[in-house]
Structure 1
């Protein structure tokens, strides 16, 4: 990691169907080997299923799910005098969004449905209803930060 200057943020173009930048970031994270059209097909297929099941806008359900997954606090390792402490720190909004996207995709891939479209739609619906693997990951992160609150004075 360079110490000279921070990495420049790349501008991400909004997706074609819904015009949403966060959705494009989600598709880019879902994508394997540069196959963006496959990732788009998976996401749009999942959104069609969500729209059939809920009857509401799939983009709103997606954003609601991301907000429920997004962590507020996490632990970072801090070395003090030979000992390593797990210090709870606040999560920046960009990092919170990136973690939420990563956790949502990881928990969708672990599900037992046959196709990725079904897995993703199920995980997004579960997350919007406060259950599922991604929400559990957020709860575990918050519990770990709460357990290590005694080391909060090592924050830097």
Structure 2
């Protein structure tokens, strides 16, 4: 019984690692800006097999990388339609809030009403540069500051925004709570900005242990 279970687990793992494309196939470059900046690389790849682009890979004004990642992080139990609907409602709430603020104070009009631009600005403001990693040396654990990759920093920024919006009052809908968190982060304040600054302070106080990263 245990042998058959191990075989099935190994087959499932192999199936997860398998792909319909061989390893020598290269990833597609579908963004127009990337194609213009990588003309030399495109000419080199002109005779190489290329993987097919994903269904959500398109270079249009309606598709954004950060927006698509945020939709994926909102998604639970495969409810992609629901997560897209929540993101649309969040953008609508952001634009409505910015328009109302522009009628009251002219300074708010300078920040713009483009919800996607405000989302990108909020994620950029929330991105941490370092994180603390527990490393054991001589029987003692030290919290060592380690630089983050771009992918991990973007992930933490969007994760913190969603966690902060979900921790608020349950009587308020998620789009409204997420819209307020995005606006606060885009303007440089809010709980997520404080969390990032606290992490930076902890990394600064533990910088004396940074050499343990290589030892």
Q: CA deviation at 1:79?
A: 1.1
> What residue is the counterpart of 1:3 in the other structure?
none
Secondary structure of 1:78's partner? strand
Deviation readout 1:20-61 (Å, 9 max, x if unpaired) = 122111111111111111111111101011112224211100
Of 111-120 and 71-80, more deviation after overlay is shown by 111-120
The equivalent position to 1:25 in structure 2, one of 56, 63, 69, is 69
Secondary structure of 1:13's partner? coil
Higher RCO (CA < 8 A, seq sep 6+)? 1
Relative to the length of structure 1, the TM-score reads 0.86
Using the alignment, how far apart are the partners of 1:121 and 1:129 within structure 2?
12
Using the alignment, how far apart are the partners of 1:14 and 1:148 within structure 2?
41
> What residue is the counterpart of 1:99 in the other structure?
156
Contact 1:14–1:21 (Cα < 8 Å) also in 2: no
Using the alignment, how far apart are the partners of 1:66 and 1:153 within structure 2?
30
- Higher Rg: 2
1:45 aligns with 2:94: no
Using the alignment, how far apart are the partners of 2:194 and 2:207 within structure 1?
20
Contact 1:13–1:21 (Cα < 8 Å) also in 2: no
Instruction: Please list every run of 5 or more consecutive structure 1 residues that lacks an aligned counterpart in the other structure.
Output: 1-6
> What residue is the counterpart of 1:125 in the other structure?
183
Q: CA deviation at 1:118?
A: 0.6
Over 4 Å off, 4+ runs: 14-17
Q: CA deviation at 1:12?
A: 8.2
